[in-house]
Every structure is written in structure tokens, then in C-alpha cells.
Chains A and B, each alone.
Chain A
Amino acid sequence: MREKQKILVVDDDRRMVKTICDILRVKGYEALPAYSGEEAVEVAKREAFDCVLMDLKMSGIDGVAALKMIKDVVPDTPVVLMSAYATKEQAEEAKLHGAAMVLTKPIDFQQVLSFFSLLRKAESVLPSDGTFTTEELEMSHTHEHL
């Protein structure tokens, strides 16, 4: 097990990428930025990540297309999608293509961090499809607060 979990943060909004990366770094993660779907795929090809946190709607290839390509390259890497305004259909489609979670912007860091800690704990025993339901995450999140 590595010291730090390695997260790829993908968004065409540079400030969004920066803030998320900074928070994750402070929280003890190794965060790498990417500013487009293409770049994310390239980076994913070169390096291994514990998780990819990626915007759903981007210029160029969008989140779902990038998800598919990343999954083609590294099928075991969990990909969490972020959306400012995700429809249920989009979320369904994303999950169908292997997204671990679809978050609504602004993202709830407690939820994200919970997910990452779940990943760390379940590194060796990932669910067969590599996804978690929102309810599972919310439950864990709720439990944290309770």
C-alpha cells in the first residue's frame, strides 16, 4: 500500500481543478490536474491512479466519453464524475459505463473523502463492478456525522 492515494482531477475549469487538488493535497492525497478529457486519457495511459475525479461536461470530449476511454485503458481504476446539473439519464448512462459515483457540484468533500477512505479500506476487496451506490456512500457519510 502506497503512502498516499493518487487522484487525477479533471475539469476544464482550471480553478475548480486547482481548488480540489489543493484540498486533497492538504488532506494527504497526491492530486494531479488535467484540464480536458483528452489530457486525462493521456495521463491515465502513462500513470496509475487510485481514482479519477472528473467533470461530466467538458469542452472537447465530455466526461462520459473520457470515462469510456479511461476504462478501456485502466478498467480497474474507479472514476467519480462530477456534474453541475446531471440529469438522471446522464447519471444512469455514466454508471452504465463504469462510473463509481456521480456527484453534484459543488461536491461534498466529506462524501468524496469518505469514498476515498472506502477505496483504501477495500483496496483488495473491491466490489465486482467497482462501483458504490450513492445510498451506500450517503449512509457512510451519515454515520460519520452521527
Chain B
Amino acid sequence: VTRVVVAGAGSIGSLLAAHLARAADVTVLTRREEHAAALREHGLRVSGRSDFTAQLGATADPAALPADAELAILACKGTDLEPLAARLAGTLPAATVMTIQNGLGAEEIVAAHGGWPLLSAVTFMSGTRHGDAHVEYVLDTATWIGPYRGTTEEDARRVAALIEAGGLRAEAFPDLRPAQWSKLIFNATVNGVAALTGLPHDFHFAQTDELSDLGHLVRDLVDEGKAVAAAAGVAQHDDPWEMNVLATRRGHRHFPSMLEDVEARRPTELELINGALVREAQRLGVSVPLQTAVYRLVKAREASYSE
């Protein structure tokens, strides 16, 4: 049986860990020891689109992770990746490490802390945590995986197969960047607009009947993002506007994490997502006034927490 470490047990980490535990030997690395204790004692319950309780190992101590783990998935929020990678430095000697954060730049952050072979991933599934040992599986969309450093498409395919064996959806790509950029543009647009308006990702984001309807702004933001991707020489895997329209038609009102963060007055993933897109645009000489406005407004919103 493959040994897998899942570092970070938010909703995405919990969904991955619980499902993978049905096909592999999983150890979860948590930040808090009481979280690890709860997982060891109760297992990890999944409700929603899946319904089972997984038994898995858990620890808050990186030194206690199995040294023979072949795969480590870093599933924390982008804002927590740097400290997590630093905690893992010098551990997991046999593992290929996979990042799954939103935005751009996660791989570089991890690469700076160790020589592990690296895989890139983006995920479109979503879940809601109901406590340390219970996660609800909400959107059963796929996780996309591609090689990054010292890995091949074959490695990506093996991980995708393992994830599928656990009951989640996954797909391997020879080059993840087209998918990563589609998601980057989608997230920068949808998460930014949701954080500023307080709207969950619902029908308003695709509405274009009136001139002042939100759909026009969403499409203009997407078009700016596409221009940056084109200048970066990345072909789009999916049209982010189509992704947006499809998601709003699912009839489920998804609350993007950036909206939840702003409402809870937490730091958001703005820098890895919107910041990365705006900086890429600047580097490539592409004018993105609307994405820049959204980035500045959310940044200022974070600054207002101290008002």
C-alpha cells in the first residue's frame, strides 16, 4: 500500500485525506495537536457527496511523519504555505511533494525549502468543514495534476489514479499551466468580486441583461486575464468565462474562500491569486486596469480590518 502524507487539514486537505485513506495508508499533518488527536480518536467523517468515516494517522509533529511516505500533498491555504514548507524542511526524504494551492507561485515556495520532486495541482472540488473530524463534500469537480520539478506526466497519472481510487475525481496533464491559468483567472475574478460584493458565486456573476449587471464586469475581468495568459504564452485549458457560467448554473451558491476570509476578517489569498496575476501583467507589459482595481480594493478591505 502506498504511504501518503496530507499536510494541512482544512476542507480540501480533509477531503483528500479521508478519500485517499480508502486506497492508501494516510497520515495527516495538522497544526494543532488537539486536531491530530481528534482525527486519531474519531477518524475523519465525510458527509455530503460521500458518506463514510476514514481511519487515518495524524500528528502535529513533522518529525513523526513516516519517513517512507512516497507522496506528500501540501493542502494548506496559500497564506500558510511558507511556514508549512519550512516545517517540512529535512523531512519526507522519499516523497514526491504536490502543491494544490490557488494562484501562482506555490511550487517555488516549496522548492525553496527542499529538493523533493514536485508535482503541481489545482483543484475544483469544494467542501465545508464541520469541526476537526468532519468535512462535507460539496462540489465533486476534479483535481488536475501535472509535473513541475523532477517529475513526469507518468508520475502525475499515478497520483491521479490513486485519488480516483479513493473516490474523488482527478486528471493528469503533461503541462499543468494551461489549467492553472484558467483557474487563476477564474479565481482572481470570481473570488475578488465575491469578496467585494458579499455575493456568493451565484447567477449574478453571469447576468448581462442590464448594462450595469455584474456579468459584464466579470467578463471584462476574465478578458484582461486571458490577455495576460496570451502574453505569457500559455494556452487556456478552459475558458474562465465558461467555467463561471457553468458554475453559476449548478444551482449551488458557492461561497469562495476569499469571501469567507473577508467576512471573518482573516488574511486572504489575494497575493497568490490577484497579486500574482497583476504582477505577471506588469512584467509582461499588459494593461489590466480592472484586475488592478479589484486587487487594490480587496487589499484595502484587508487593511480596514484594523478600523
Q: Do A and B come from one complex?
A: no
List chain A positions with a Cβ less than 8 A from chain B: none
